[in-house]
Structure 1
Amino acid sequence: MSDDILITSLTEAVEARPDDLTLRLHLGGLLVEAGRAVEAVAQAGLVLARDPGNAGAQTLMQRALAATAPAPQKDKPVEGPEDVLAAYEEELSPVLPPRFAPSEEGGGPLPADGPPEPARGGGDRKFDVERSTVRLADVGGMKAVKERLELAFLGPMRNPELRKLYGKSLRGGLMLYGPPGCGKTFIARAVAGEMGARFMSLSIVDVLDMWMGNSERNLHELFQTARRNAPCVLFLDEIDALGQKRSQMSSSSMRTVANQLLAELDGVDTDNEGVFVLAATNTPWQVDPALRRPGRLDRMVLVLPPDAEARQAILELNLRDRPIAGIDLPKLVAATEDFSGADLTHLCESAAEYAMADSMRTGTIRMIEQRDFVRALNELRPSTGPWFATARNVAMFANEGGAYDDLTAYLKKRKLLR
């Protein structure tokens, strides 16, 4: 049996028995011998994540890292200026045109005053409609958020007969709000994946245009695309940029864009059946109240920093393909309360940087250890602090109609609000 066939068979066996560490280590050894050291690092890292003190995994990791170490560079011949320019031109060819572009007839470069390339109009615009492969099971923790999404969208979608019985429409909107970096976009993709619906993401750059009337047309075209691809989850990221309070707008053009957004959500000229609008913002108190009117974005869901279960899942994901040893994961989870998902990713990046810098300084490759995380934790602070400081004032003085009752309850639970 050839090495490739044996590795393929062992890979299938490991996928069927992911907790068989001995089998995984055997696969890692074969990968190193086959020159696939990067894959071996991933296998060793998975073993160390489950058993940090596994001596066989540590040995395998050292072998794999040694195999991936860069070979010393040989002396290169001295290059002339033209050689250097040619090398840069080849490297940058995907983004920059060549220095001398040939004419269409191939008879030399075009004159400097030649006709410019025709400008493309709005008819050439295309909006990305994708299929999401993410599911809610891929979202760690966030039980309350999942329950609210199940009630608003997923339950009626899965039970069409009950939906008809109770007269539940498949149109509607929901606004996700909370500190930055806590996974609002990821949740929107998970909802689309759970429903088997298409996914479209809209940001301010997809809408705004310098010419009068084009921004409103772009917004209408985006909604029309979503309607044609129903069932579709239309994700409005940073909704406060497009739907800011009109009383605070100094630009009449932005006011008309906000009015167009309200009209599209109402589906005045068309039907929004099967178009699920999910919006996200860090500052819901700056969103125009008309957007939260029943029938538009009438439900608000607070997306908080990941809980302990979610933090562990995020840390495991970030460490899965990295060389680690002796990591105390429960201790890291306990030390990262109030860290957003982005903060946790940055923490793992920082720990990896310290280990890599140490390896470059000493000339000996070593694994990422608990001391690297301790050093990173001493220098990093959760980015959610300023947001909660502002949210506390909103919960105390601007909670008209109980819109932020869930935020108030969380702040009281954390003893951030009396």
Structure 2
Amino acid sequence: MNLLEEAEKEYKSLLSVNQVKFKAKLGLATIYYQLKKYNVCNVILEQLIKDKQENASVLSLYASSLLKSKEVEEFYLVYKEILKVKRVRFERDLEILLKLENINLDGESKKTYVDKLIGLDRIKGMKFVKKEIEARVIIPLTDSYTNSSSLGKGILLYGPSFCGKKTFAKAIADEVNARFIELNTEKVLKDWLKEGRLKLEEFFNHIKNQTPCVVFIENLIDSCPTKALKKAFTIALINYIDKLNSLEDGVFFILSSDTPWKIDKKMFENGRIQEKILIPPPDQEYREVYLKEKLAEIPTISIDYTNIAKATESYTFQDIELMIDNTIEAKLEECIVDGISKPLKTKDLQLIINSYRTKIDQWFSKAKRKAEQNSDFTEFLSDILFYMNIKKIS
């Protein structure tokens, strides 16, 4: 019998004594939590709450246990009660969950929290990119012995569309235990002359009260339809970034771009954006996980996910989705002709893959050409050439 089992036995014996019943129940619930018997833990805590014996400790443990057992809807209700108890101290899992986009601090539940993976662990595969981000971004931001000022006020994630730049940005926010806040550049640029500038000002006023935070600015400049708008937006953005002491104010910027050669070089001056990290298409492990997610609710039979992931080399997430959609469409036509429904098979996916061509090679060829032609973009060239050599892209 280990120590936790002995403690469980001791707490059960204490339940017969009325005056210690509350502490015994809470202690027993804590033991079950540590034993990872979350459902039993929840039952005990629910009884305490029903008997009007809840306090900060009960609610905090209950919320954590609900998180562990993935009962998100119930967790959200308990979380709202926790907000009323200001003295409560959350454990790290709970703190991180509250800062994720899935359940925000405004009390709005945006979508179901599927798993408990946080930080870079949420991304399968992509080991080289994760090591780069850990060494060049996360360690400097979290290690007090490292000169984090070398990062400037933020970083740039660049690469082809639909390769997971936002996912990596969220992972960085998780790793440094900061809120993830996104600037919708399309909305700002859509009506720049009327309300766009005001929206940008409101956004930067808002983030001052949300620190520590990672501010994600997606598709920087990519959405600008004209050079004049690009220049105006860039100047305004730089002015707002310069007004913040960034790391001292608890704000770190992550910019993303599919066309980094279009970014004004001023964005990289005066310590604004220092590190530039290439986010390439998902590797085989990441593609396999994504395939399983996308086919989870579609009738299939004996899908060879590993071989399909191998066959989709250099596919972006959008390419994978299009491939699946085309496969489903072809299968539906087959079912209509035969008059019976049929699940998707490996060969169905393989047929579409054989006729599908990704445009990744075109992006890298263009990026290489731009880097060679533009002196302001030459520092990107080594990473681009490195990836092209590995993947044998000419």
TM norm structure 2:
0.63
Shift in alpha-carbon separation, 1:331–1:340, aligned structure 2, 3 A: same
Q: Deviations over 1:177-219 (max 9, x none)?
A: 1111111122222222333322222133332375757533322
Q: For residue 119 of structure 2, what is the aligned residue in structure 1?
A: 135
**C-alpha displacement at 1:273, in angstroms?**
2.4
Instruction: Determine the C-alpha separation between the residues in 2 that align with 1:156 and 1:270.
Output: 14
Tell me whether 1:340 sits opposite 2:316 in the alignment: yes
Checking the alignment, whether the CA contact within 8 Å between 2:288 and 2:309 is kept in structure 1 is yes
The 5 Å alignment of 1:215-294 reads 215-241=196-222, 249=227, 251=228, 254-267=230-243, 273-294=249-270
Instruction: Determine the C-alpha separation between the residues in 1 that align with 2:187 and 2:368.
Output: 33
RMSD: 3.1
Instruction: Determine the C-alpha separation between the residues in 2 that align with 1:270 and 1:188.
Output: 17
Tell me whether 1:196 sits opposite 2:180 in the alignment: no
Tell me whether 1:374 sits opposite 2:355 in the alignment: no
Structure with bigger helix share is 2
Instruction: Determine the C-alpha separation between the residues in 2 that align with 1:298 and 1:402.
Output: 11
Letter in structure 2 aligned against 1:386: Q
Letter in structure 2 aligned against 1:183: G
Instruction: Determine the C-alpha separation between the residues in 1 that align with 2:178 and 2:368.
Output: 36
Instruction: Determine the C-alpha separation between the residues in 2 that align with 1:269 and 1:329.
Output: 47
Q: For residue 415 of structure 1, what is the aligned residue in structure 2?
A: 392
The 5 Å alignment of 1:5-44 reads none
The 5 Å alignment of 1:113-152 reads 131-132=100-101, 135-152=119-136
Shift in alpha-carbon separation, 1:180–1:192, aligned structure 2, 3 A: same
**C-alpha displacement at 1:382, in angstroms?**
1.0
Instruction: Determine the C-alpha separation between the residues in 2 that align with 1:394 and 1:195.
Output: 34
Tell me whether 1:175 sits opposite 2:156 in the alignment: yes
Checking the alignment, whether the CA contact within 8 Å between 2:188 and 2:200 is kept in structure 1 is yes
1:306 to 282, 290, 299: 282
Instruction: Determine the C-alpha separation between the residues in 2 that align with 1:265 and 1:169.
Output: 16
Q: SS at the partner of 2:254?
A: strand
Task: Show structure 1 runs of 5+ residues with no match.
Answer: 1-14, 17-128
Checking the alignment, whether the CA contact within 8 Å between 1:243 and 1:287 is kept in structure 2 is no
**C-alpha displacement at 1:284, in angstroms?**
0.4
Letter in structure 1 aligned against 2:145: L
Shift in alpha-carbon separation, 1:226–1:404, aligned structure 2, 3 A: farther
Letter in structure 1 aligned against 2:129: V
Instruction: Determine the C-alpha separation between the residues in 1 that align with 2:301 and 2:279.
Output: 33
Instruction: Determine the C-alpha separation between the residues in 2 that align with 1:234 and 1:323.
Output: 39
Letter in structure 2 aligned against 1:371: K
**C-alpha displacement at 1:294, in angstroms?**
4.6
The 5 Å alignment of 1:39-54 reads none
**C-alpha displacement at 1:389, in angstroms?**
2.6
Range moving further from structure 2, 266-275 or 368-377: 266-275
Instruction: Determine the C-alpha separation between the residues in 1 that align with 2:278 and 2:286.
Output: 16
Letter in structure 2 aligned against 1:235: F
Q: SS at the partner of 1:136?
A: helix
Structure with higher Rg: it is 1
Checking the alignment, whether the CA contact within 8 Å between 2:183 and 2:216 is kept in structure 1 is yes
The 5 Å alignment of 1:34-113 reads none
Checking the alignment, whether the CA contact within 8 Å between 2:222 and 2:259 is kept in structure 1 is no
Letter in structure 2 aligned against 1:154: I
Shift in alpha-carbon separation, 1:343–1:280, aligned structure 2, 3 A: same
Shift in alpha-carbon separation, 1:341–1:368, aligned structure 2, 3 A: same
**C-alpha displacement at 1:325, in angstroms?**
1.6
Q: Give the count of matched residue pairs.
A: 283
Instruction: Determine the C-alpha separation between the residues in 1 that align with 2:368 and 2:245.
Output: 41
Checking the alignment, whether the CA contact within 8 Å between 1:242 and 1:257 is kept in structure 2 is no
Q: SS at the partner of 2:221?
A: helix
Range moving further from structure 2, 370-379 or 350-359: 350-359
TM norm structure 1:
0.60
**C-alpha displacement at 1:265, in angstroms?**
1.7
Checking the alignment, whether the CA contact within 8 Å between 1:312 and 1:329 is kept in structure 2 is yes
Range moving further from structure 2, 357-366 or 166-175: 166-175
Instruction: Determine the C-alpha separation between the residues in 2 that align with 1:151 and 1:294.
Output: 22
Instruction: Determine the C-alpha separation between the residues in 1 that align with 2:195 and 2:248.
Output: 22
Q: SS at the partner of 1:291?
A: helix
Q: SS at the partner of 2:208?
A: helix
**C-alpha displacement at 1:236, in angstroms?**
0.7
Checking the alignment, whether the CA contact within 8 Å between 2:180 and 2:215 is kept in structure 1 is yes
Q: For residue 392 of structure 1, what is the aligned residue in structure 2?
A: 368
Q: Deviations over 1:328-356 (max 9, x none)?
A: 22321221111112211222232233333
Tell me whether 1:327 sits opposite 2:327 in the alignment: no
Checking the alignment, whether the CA contact within 8 Å between 1:170 and 1:276 is kept in structure 2 is no
Q: For residue 19 of structure 1, what is the aligned residue in structure 2?
A: none
Q: Deviations over 1:287-330 (max 9, x none)?
A: 00011225212211101111122222222222233222232223
Q: Deviations over 1:256-279 (max 9, x none)?
A: 332111111222698862212111
The 5 Å alignment of 1:352-371 reads 352-371=328-347
**C-alpha displacement at 1:384, in angstroms?**
1.7
Instruction: Determine the C-alpha separation between the residues in 1 that align with 2:220 and 2:359.
Output: 21
2:382 to 398, 405, 408: 405
Instruction: Determine the C-alpha separation between the residues in 1 that align with 2:191 and 2:320.
Output: 39
